[in-house]
Structure 1
């Protein structure tokens, strides 16, 4: 069973940065300076663990002038296809909905093409044309938090 929770301490933060390093920097060849940004401290980070308690995925969200941006969804290659991504998306959306400041505002993300169908299952819709970010093709996807 996959468990997802909000990151609570520096040790968990190190674990999620390690996952992002593995997935984005090493596997997808995203430049390290593009991966880590000035929003780390103001974002709500999540860590997913497997049935053995091993960290296997991460995501974050933050308030922006356009609404709530969901980002940095990453699942270790060894754990893909096991529901980790779904568990992360559900946990992030549930957490956002607990925030009174989010009601009626837009939730949005820049979704890599292979993940578009996952986010669609949760009610996100593609907006606009494909675009490139960090040499990876994306769609903007949006949903209004009701």
Structure 2
């Protein structure tokens, strides 16, 4: 069981390199997502890095879109799943959003819907496919 989970905003290039390595491992290698889809909108996103006992464990980002604030690219390395890293990432991102951020949403892989529901998100609309994986749009209630 991990002793200490820390989530921080990743702004330095070395931190961003780790964020990208985590996402590459989870999405491109493990889930077989096309690499070109994984790296869209990097320059307009706010990135986060989670560590467990000082070891890189997870990553995510948020960005402003025409629809509102989109949370995305939540990735936790296999070794660190089930310890609360994902929940800490979501909490950190929600805390980082601008005061009064209105519409907050994400596209959840279908298997992760219950996880996001526990954090106050609700499904919105039908199931859809993105990068060959089934998803639901979810909105913060």
- With structure 2 as the length reference, what TM-score do the two structures score? 0.95
Q: Match for 2:123 among 112, 126, 136?
A: 126
CA displacement at 1:8 relative to structure 2: 2.0
Q: Which digits, 9 at most, give the CA deviation of each residue in 1:31-64, with x for residues without a partner?
A: 1111111x1011100000001x111100000001
User: Structure 2 regions of 5+ residues with no counterpart?
Assistant: none
**Aligned counterparts of 2:24 and 2:101: Cα–Cα separation in 1:** 34
Q: Which runs of 5+ in 1 are unaligned?
A: none
Q: Closer, same or farther in 2 for the Cα pair 1:104/1:4, shift >3 Å?
A: closer
> Moved runs in structure 1, 4+ residues, more than 4 A?
none
**TM-score, with normalisation over the residues of structure 1?**
0.92
Q: 1:77 to 1:104 in 2, by over 3 A?
A: closer
Distance in 2 (CA, whole Å) between partners of 1:85 and 1:110 is 15
Q: CA RMSD in A?
A: 1.0
Give the Cα–Cα distance (whole angstroms) in 2 for the partners of residues 117 and 45 of structure 1: 24
Give the corresponding residue for 2:49: 47
